[in-house]
Structure 1
Amino acid sequence: MTVVFTITFGLLVLAGALTLVRLLRGPRTLDRILAIDVLVVLIACGVAVEMAASGRAMNIALLLGITLLGFLGSISAVRLTEGRKDHR
């Protein structure tokens, strides 16, 4: 089972690297907002995989906090860019 967790962590790291490329390159503000949201989801998935690998659910509050922060951050960012015509 350790091999599965290692492969999963590797794929999450690869997805995070590709998401960081999208975050830095843009080109629009909404692309960057979406990249940050995906990065938060990847962090939450990493915490969930770590909890499954260790067999302890001690980080459940951390997982809930990360997902709530990501949700509220996405809603706030979309509200800020909602009225703009050019999202650059």
Structure 2
Amino acid sequence: MNVVTAIGMTMLGAAALLLLVRIYRGPSNLDRIVASEVLLIIVIAGIVMDAARNRSTTSLPLLMILGLVSFVGGVAVTRFMAGNVDDGTDDEPPPVTAEQQAWQTSRGAAERAAEEQS
């Protein structure tokens, strides 16, 4: 079991080093964000391997918290990277075109004329 965990930890360490290079070099913010998310998953995997080697469940709350932080962080980053998507929930009304303005003006004049006649 010790040989297997040593090999596993070595592989996780190598992957973590490669991810640190990706975080440093980029080239885009999205690459850095994805690399940091995967790095957090590697940290979780390392804690799980240590818990399996020691046959201990004391790190389970830490794993739950890290998993929750990873999920919430991924959702928040995804919403942030989506930017201003026009989903129809804007508070501002759409701009009025010249044609719409002319129609509203003529409609208002017709309503005023109808009110004056009554």
Compute the TM-score of the two structures, normalised by the length of structure 2: 0.69
Residue 61 in structure 1 maps to residue 83 in structure 2: no
Equivalents in 1 of 2:40, 2:71: separation in Å?
9
Asked which structure has the greater CA Rg, the reply is: 2
Equivalents in 2 of 1:57, 1:38: separation in Å?
23
Equivalents in 1 of 2:82, 2:27: separation in Å?
17
**Displacement, 1:83?**
1.6
Q: Which runs of 5 or more structure 2 residues have no equivalent in the other structure?
A: 85-118
Deviation >4 Å, runs of 4+: none
* Partner of residue 11, structure 1: 11
* Partner of residue 21, structure 1: 21
**Displacement, 1:7?**
0.7
Letter in 2 for 1:69: V
Number of aligned residues: 84
Equivalents in 1 of 2:83, 2:52: separation in Å?
42
Percent of aligned pairs with the same residue? 35
Q: Which runs of 5 or more structure 1 residues have no equivalent in the other structure?
A: none
* Partner of residue 41, structure 2: 41
